A and B are shown apart, each in its own frame.
Chain A
Amino acid sequence: MSVTFKALENILEHYPPSSEHLISALQDVQAKFNYLPPEAMTAVCDHLGVPLSRGWAVATFYKAFSLEPKGEHDVAVCLGTACHVRGAANVYEKFRRDLGIAGPEGTTRDLKFSLRQVRCLGCCSMAPVAQVDEEIHGNLSQRKAGHLLRMYRKR
């Protein structure tokens, strides 16, 4: 998805030039491109009349934003309390090992998967849970986590 003037304009024309729309506009950009490309960030800031430093601060403060391109599949593992007491930490480690991600979060080299932690998806009854793209997978174990990745790798 290339960042085009038109694509940005489609987003920006919904927002009057006022700084209160910064987060909403960046959310739209994130939704459209899956991350915040620098040129889009500049465009949003210019449009709303906020300095780039403000846009960047917001983008790095909130977890919803990513400044790096995301992988094809977004794996969000819940590490909320209910999931934690049911062993989510081990499941998360399993994902990390299998995806070969060095840091706490990240994207695989082939841009196939992005792995991140979330604090509670609100599906505590199925703990531990993970969300891949839009789908929630509950009652995970390390073994199931492995299956899950294999399944999405084939897609």
Chain B
Amino acid sequence: MITFTINGQEVQGQDGWTILEVARWHGIDIPTLCHYEAVEPYGACRLCVVEVDDGKRSRVVISCMYPIRSGIQVKTDSPRVANVRRWIVQLLLDESPGAPKIQELAKAFRVTPSRFKKEGVEFACHLCGLCIRACQEVVGVQALTFGNRGVLKEVTAPYHQRSTDCIRCGTCLYVCPTGAMEQLFPQVSAP
């Protein structure tokens, strides 16, 4: 058994569990976007950051992947954590102002769209990769994939065509947190 604290509360867990899992088990809320119980954590959205002090130094880590260790002190809402989350929500809100889940977060973090907000896009994909991971890990198909990289990175099927590997099960639709898959689905799903 590993014992450590989250926001001062003493909690326990086993080797290999993550901070997020233990926090949720104890009803401590940490916001997430790219986390889904059915697939392996990926660490793309960084919304679940927490500050971990291991006695030597304090650093910001993502709770969905950070394995718990004895004696660490976890803070889920320190100023550093808040700054990272605020910016992530700000950046996401400017990318896709219409997505309900993002609006919810924006409200919680009191963030409003900035002058850089994207015009004409309501439901932008945030490349959280849930659809791709679900397609691969849950369904066992690899119809969807990331294409390109960096700012050009996108979720699509090879050659932007309807994938012949797709089985049209809709799992990608089910796990998509922003609704962007609804637009993409008819373009990439099996003919």
Q: Is the CB of A60 within 8 A of B148?
A: yes
Q: Which residue of B lies closest to A53 (CB)?
A: B145
A32 beta carbon closer than 8 Å to chain B: no
| A-chain residues with CB within 8 Å of residue B25 when the two chains form the complex | none
* Contact bitstring A35-48, B, C-beta under 8 A = 1, else 0: 00010000000000
Minimum Cβ distance to chain A for residue B134 (Å) = 14
B163 beta carbon closer than 8 Å to chain A: yes
Interface residues on A, range: 10 to 19
Q: Is the CB of A57 within 8 A of B165?
A: no
Q: Is the CB of B158 within 8 A of A56?
A: yes
Q: Which residue of A lies closest to B146 (CB)?
A: A57
Assuming A51-B165, A52-B165, is B145 touching A57 (CB within 8 A)?
yes
| A-chain residues with CB within 8 Å of residue B144 when the two chains form the complex | 53
Minimum Cβ distance to chain B for residue A8 (Å) = 18
B157 beta carbon closer than 8 Å to chain A: yes
B147 beta carbon closer than 8 Å to chain A: yes
Q: Which residue of B lies closest to A38 (CB)?
A: B159
| B-chain residues with CB within 8 Å of residue A53 when the two chains form the complex | 142-145, 157-158, 163, 165
Minimum Cβ distance to chain A for residue B37 (Å) = 24
| B-chain residues with CB within 8 Å of residue A56 when the two chains form the complex | 145, 147, 158-159
Minimum Cβ distance to chain A for residue B144 (Å) = 7
Chain A residues with CB under 8 Å of chain B are 38, 51-57, 60-61
